[in-house]
Chains A and B, each alone.
Chain A
Amino acid sequence: MIVSEDQEARRPMIEVVDLVKHYRAGDGSVVRAVDGISLEVAAGETVGLLGANGAGKTTTLRVLATLLRPTAGTARVAGCDVRDDPIGARRRLGYVSATTGVADRLTAREIMQSYGRLHGMADDVLADRVAGLVSALGLESFADRPAGRLSSGQRQRVSLARALVHDPPALVLDEPTTALDVVGARDLLRLLDRLRTEGHAILLSTHRLHEIEHRCDRFVIIDGGRVVAQGTPAEIVGPHGSLEAAFFAALGTEAAR
């Protein structure tokens, strides 16, 4: 089969097809956290994953990150199935969460080096990569300060740098701006814009709709573990005037009226 350059560029870097994830709760009942979600993110594209608490956003992202196994359906990262080739998927994915989980006693540079070594990166390659990320993500002023003395925004930048240390083509971010102030959130989102233009596929979940209204190429809105709406900003927002109104309309809640 002949694949054009354009088709190659639009090849899904993140792909979820009919994903189902059930948990067994403490009382023995089955919780259907994700119930048939499908979505795609191409290289150079940012997709916003939206939903209320408990809608299944985090579970979907954690299946992609190989932290949870799907009950049914498939999830792929750069063509690597998370069930059949979890190591391959992990090598191609960067994961950022709301809880930065950066060690207080280590510096940003040490954190990047530790996690780079977890990928088996050679010392010289790792040193170059860390130096490049310090410059690219604007960490120079605090790269050698223990993370315990950094602001929330700085810690989240370190977390992003840690996710990028192995140069993954796909990035998954689970509410990365939750703990950030307006300035920190703006800076982080600008960095994500740059990463997108450099060809990364970005899947981003957030509750702060105004922040991403004009930054995403597409939105996927989920509720109760199912996709209730998805499309480009024009398709989703168009008839409603704002993303927030479109979100509530998709959920069919009182607030939409």
Chain B
Amino acid sequence: MTHPERLAPVPAPADSAPVVPEHSRHALAASILAVAEFQLARLRSPLRLLMAGMGVIFPAAVMLAVRWAAAAIGNGSGENLDAGREITAAIGMDRAMAATMLYALIPEAVCMLGLLVTMCPAVADELERGTWIHVAVRPAGRMALLLGTYLAAVLWTSCVAILAAILAVLVSGVPDPLPLIGVLSGLVILSALGRGALFALPAVILPKRALVASVAVALVVEYMAGFIPAVINQATVSLRLRSLLVAWMGWRYKVPADMRMLVDPQPPWLQVTAVLALSAVLLAVATAILEYRQFPPSEEI
């Protein structure tokens, strides 16, 4: 180790100007990007990469299993996939069925799971690792921590889910796959933006129980309130995603009458705006809560 007495003086700014600029929008953006970069580096751990790989493969595996099952029903064996495709179509596994299954598997299941892994521990991880205090003592540290983690979670989840969509669509043998991949990718990004913001709330309110709280929020808000045909479902991401799926797939006039209450007839741009606005409101509330939160020394793990 170098002997401290032989060290150079701790450097002061060359022209006595302050090293740190006054708080500005540029500084905040730089802080958010710094946290996002840091979190993405963390997400490149072997365990997280394994989880990402499973997320990419899982929907394709399900679609492949459906094809094999259809082939087995059709000709008594699962060996002939081309024959299976015909049989699949014969039992109703047409483009609409495939799109509906892929929607349930990717923008819903994969995105939800991805965000539970990446967004829920936003604060809890920092408390556990002892980094919370070092981030929170920086000028915009708390806001940067939340928004940077959100950015990393959205990017990571979107990448995993879009790769899953490409693989699953190709495996499912749907004719003209590119438009379906485009629809699913759009829904994935909106799902990640909306649900990531939704999970930011339990992450800051109940950091140590964020995972359980987020699952509860997902079930109660997205999958119960989201299916209630009343004003309450207007504030859910699931209504917007279903409505966009119907609009972008051109199903508006094909939806059975008793199912129409579960989708919103407004144009797609309004649905997209609603998801973005909802995300902004949720993030603003989460940021305000985090700015206000205090963690006594005894709460650190």
Contacts and interface: CB of A to CB of B under 8 A. Distances in A.
Interface of A: 23, 33, 58-59, 62, 65-69, 87, 90-91, 93, 95, 97, 99-101, 103, 105-106, 114-115, 117-122, 125, 128-129, 132-133, 135-138, 140-141, 153-154, 159, 162, 164, 166-167, 183, 187, 190-191, 194-195, 198
A101 B134 contact: yes
Nearest to B292: A69
25 contacts: A58-B297, A68-B294, A68-B296, A69-B294, A87-B23, A93-B137, A95-B133, A97-B133, A99-B130, A101-B129, A101-B133, A103-B42, A118-B34, A118-B35, A118-B144, A119-B31, A120-B23, A120-B26, A128-B11, A132-B11, A138-B1, A138-B2, A166-B19, A167-B12, A194-B10
B137 A138 contact: no
Given A23-B296, A194-B9, A62 B31 contact: no
Given A67-B137, A120-B20, A120-B21, A114 B34 contact: yes
A33 to B, nearest CB: 8
B7 A194 contact: yes
Contacts of B30: 117, 120
A137 B297 contact: no
**Cβ-closest 7 pairs across A and B:** A120-B27, A132-B11, A138-B2, A117-B34, A99-B130, A101-B130, A118-B138
Nearest to B41: A105
Nearest to A126: B19
A66 B300 CA distance: 16
A115 B41 contact: no
A90 B31 contact: no
A190 B37 CA distance: 34
Contacts of B1: 138, 141, 153-154, 183, 187
A128 B21 CA distance: 15
Contact of B134 (A66, A115, A141, A153): A115
B137 to A, nearest CB: 5
Given A97-B130, A101-B131, A166-B20, A129 B11 contact: yes
Given A67-B295, A118-B31, A122-B21, A136 B9 contact: yes
B8 A135 contact: yes
B62 interface: no
B135 interface: yes
Contacts of B4: 138, 187, 190-191, 194
A58 B296 CA distance: 9
A167 B21 CA distance: 12
Chain B interface residue count: which class?
A: 35 or more
Contacts of A65: 133, 136-137
Contacts of A194: 4, 7, 9-10
B6 to A, nearest CB: 8
A58 B132 CA distance: 15
A184 to B, nearest CB: 9
Contacts of A66: 136-137
B139 interface: yes
Contact of B10 (A115, A153, A164): A164
B141 interface: yes
B5 interface: yes
Nearest to A138: B2
Contacts of A120: 20-21, 23-24, 26-28, 30-31, 139-140
B84 to A, nearest CB: 45
Contacts of A105: 41-42, 45
A30 to B, nearest CB: 13
B21 to A, nearest CB: 5
B19 A62 contact: no
A143 to B, nearest CB: 11
Interface string B272-301: 000000000000000000000011110010
B10 A90 contact: no
A88 B9 CA distance: 26
A115 B138 contact: yes
